[in-house]
Chains A and B, each alone.
Chain A
Amino acid sequence: MWTGSIIFNNKLGPQHLHMAVRLPSEFVNPSPGQFVMIRPARGGEPLLSRPLSIYQFTRNQDHVILEFLYRIVGQGTELLSRLPSAAEVAMLGPLGNGFRIEKNRSHRILLAGGMGVAPITFLAQRLNDLVVTKAELQICLGAKSCAEIVGVERIKGFQGLMNIVTDDGTIGSCGLVTDLLPDITRGCDPCQTMIYACGPMAMLRTLAEELAPTRIPCQVSIEERMACGLGACLGCAVDVHNRRGRRVKKSLCKDGPVFNIEDICWEQL
């Protein structure tokens, strides 16, 4: 378990925060889609750490910096949101299996809904180095409203065509991020394309339904309540089809949080 020190923990809106944590240089380089279990180092209530996906990673000479974008959803994240600079956090990670980057696929589509922007931004940064032309990377961000769309500036700095959608149309076009799918995937070669997505369950479910007939592969990062983050408590089990098509239980924390969209048994979620 790592002890990190908070560099900043800034409010971006009433519920949204951007946190940076300084950690020892022994912290292993994370890959996009991986997460950490984090809680205040001094312990206390609530007991359990909270899973946060990694937004940005920077390696410096004698330390590393991890950044997170998160939203206050309950007691654990509320407690994190109140931590001041220099406060210590206890952390496990990097954990889980992140997004697979297949270098031979030249067309990549990134879809983020709400706080899904955090791992998608980290992925965009990684892909930035691989992309040759702007058209090879398309990024679609969706949120409820202008007030809830966060992290746009950073992701805009990367290579790629940007689309922004909000439920109420206060910024970008009006609608859901999945509304963009028909246009974006039209004429796509399933062998050359990979979609990466993270967002609310409803968005990912729609994505699964709409992509099924297109045969375009898609990796999604999903979430569930977790206690340990190590695959021991079995609290975050998810039903997945294995290679032989049989339904098996996987631990979201250890086997995921990224899965192939067609492997997930969506009716269970």
Chain B
Amino acid sequence: MTNRKGLDGKGKLAVAIGTLKLKNPVMTASGTFGYGEEYAPYVDLNRLGAIIVKGLSLKPRSGNPGPRIMETPAGMLNAIGLQNIGVKSFIRNKLPYLRQFDTAIIANVYGETIEEYLRVSEILTAAGGVHALEINVSCPNVKRGGVAFGTDPDMVAEVTNGVKDVTDLPVIVKLSPNVTDICVMAKAAEAAGADAVSLINTITGMSVDVEKRIPHLKNITGGLSGPAIKPVALRMVWQVAGRVRIPVIGVGGIMSPRDALEFFIAGARAIQVGTANFVEPRATMRIIDGIGAYMKRHRILDMDNLVGSLRI
């Protein structure tokens, strides 16, 4: 893949995820940034390291019935159920808009079956203008697929292997925290050829309306995100970064530059901002600026000197 202007891997915030060069390590987490255009009035999309779009399936999905979200202490529960316009409509209606920006576009791929993951990956690869694939084996809110593939290392390996066979794009495997040992899943993804792992997806949770004695979400359970999950995400990133050689992308409750820096120091090569986009649309801009200011203040020359620099 040829590097476009700005994706040249220069500049002190530049990072590489496999062959994918990013101008900075800040991405938008899938499902929290729509297809990018929703945030264009608020954010200079050119300044983002990467945009990861809402999870795409082969056919459009209408998602779960509402209520789908509920705010909880220091976070929120969601059970959207991967509502999306389908991969073909994405390529026709959303990708041309995204192509004009000087940022990496990463498509999040979801399937109910292995065949579906592979087909969606193939279609996205052929489309052009997508710079990497993030394989979603961790959505907790769907009946089939998603986390069903992410709790068994053999399944993680099978999906990863299959996708690697049908694409030449860098493949990121997004892991679920709802497992006994996330390192086992990360190792399985690495062994199957993944170029990177991103973690964590949401932690399965629940909330009850005590007056009505009903769950706040129609789906009963949902995925917890936001600052509440940050310590768990950070711990898992630190554990996985010590066990795999491929880049680890940290996700979970990052609201501020300081939160992002914790993840880098613990071993994340890049980070994703999710729930913070809902709280403040410009959160990513503030985080990019804050990381730059920190590097300057601490005279850190490049990301390599920051990533995994935890002193124990």
Binding site for B on A (CB under 8 A): 1, 39, 43, 45-49, 75-76, 90, 92, 224-228, 230-239, 247-249, 254, 268
Contacts and interface: CB of A to CB of B under 8 A. Distances in A.
B281 A231 contact: no
B69 A227 contact: yes
A237 B31 CA distance: 14
Instruction: Report, nearest first, the 10 A-B pairs whose CB atoms are least far apart.
Output: A235-B69, A232-B34, A227-B278, A228-B278, A232-B38, A230-B38, A234-B80, A47-B279, A234-B83, A235-B68
A48 B280 contact: no
B71 to A, nearest CB: 5
Given A92-B281, A234-B80, A47 B63 contact: no
B304 to A, nearest CB: 33
B75 interface: yes
B42 A1 contact: yes
Contact of B63 (A92, A231, A249, A254): A249
Interface string B251-281: 0000000000000000000000001011111
B279 A48 contact: yes
Chain A interface mostly helix, strand, loop or mixed? loop
A75 to B, nearest CB: 8
A162 B123 CA distance: 59
A1 B280 CA distance: 8
A90 B80 contact: no
Interface of B: prevailing SS = loop
A47 B275 contact: yes
Given A47-B279, A227-B71, A233-B78, 16 more contacts: A1-B42, A1-B280, A45-B73, A46-B71, A75-B71, A225-B68, A226-B69, A227-B78, A228-B277, A230-B281, A232-B32, A232-B33, A232-B277, A234-B63, A238-B66, A239-B62
Contacts of B70: 225
A249 B277 contact: no
A39 B71 CA distance: 14
Nearest to A229: B278
Given A1-B42, A268-B65, A235 B78 contact: yes
A127 B80 CA distance: 38
B281 A233 contact: no
Given A1-B281, A47-B75, A47-B275, A233 B69 contact: yes
A227 B76 contact: yes
A230 B34 contact: yes
A235 B34 contact: no
Contacts of A268: 65-66
B226 interface: yes
Interface in B63-111: 63, 65-71, 73-76, 78, 80, 83
A237 B71 contact: no
B66 A224 contact: yes
Contact of A230 (B39, B71, B75, B76): B39
Contacts of A46: 71
Contact of B279 (A49, A232, A237, A254): A49
A19 B39 CA distance: 28
A269 B91 CA distance: 32
B66 A237 contact: yes
A242 to B, nearest CB: 12
B45 to A, nearest CB: 13
Given A232-B32, A233-B69, A48 B80 contact: no
Contacts of A43: 279
Given A1-B281, A249-B83, A232 B39 contact: yes
Specify which of B31, B75, B278 lies most central, judged by the most chain A CB atoms within 10 Å of its CB: B278
Contacts of B80: 233-235, 237
Interface string B297-308: 000000000000
25 contacts: A1-B42, A1-B280, A43-B279, A45-B74, A49-B279, A75-B71, A225-B66, A227-B275, A228-B277, A228-B281, A230-B38, A230-B281, A232-B33, A232-B38, A232-B277, A233-B78, A234-B54, A234-B68, A235-B69, A236-B66, A236-B68, A237-B63, A237-B66, A249-B62, A254-B38
B56 to A, nearest CB: 13
Given A47-B74, A230-B39, A231-B34, A1 B282 contact: yes
B227 interface: yes
Interface in B44-69: 54, 62-63, 65-69
A237 B71 CA distance: 16
Contacts of B63: 234, 237, 249
A138 to B, nearest CB: 32
A90 B280 CA distance: 9
B71 A47 contact: yes
Contacts of B67: 224-225
B29 to A, nearest CB: 11
A224 B218 CA distance: 13
Most buried by A among B65, B69, B227, B275: B69
Given A225-B69, A227-B69, A233-B78, A47 B34 contact: no
A87 to B, nearest CB: 18
Given A1-B281, A227-B278, A237-B83, A47 B227 contact: yes
B208 to A, nearest CB: 14
Contact of B278 (A48, A224, A238, A239): A48
Q: Which of A46, A232, A239, A248 has the most CB of B within 10 A?
A: A232
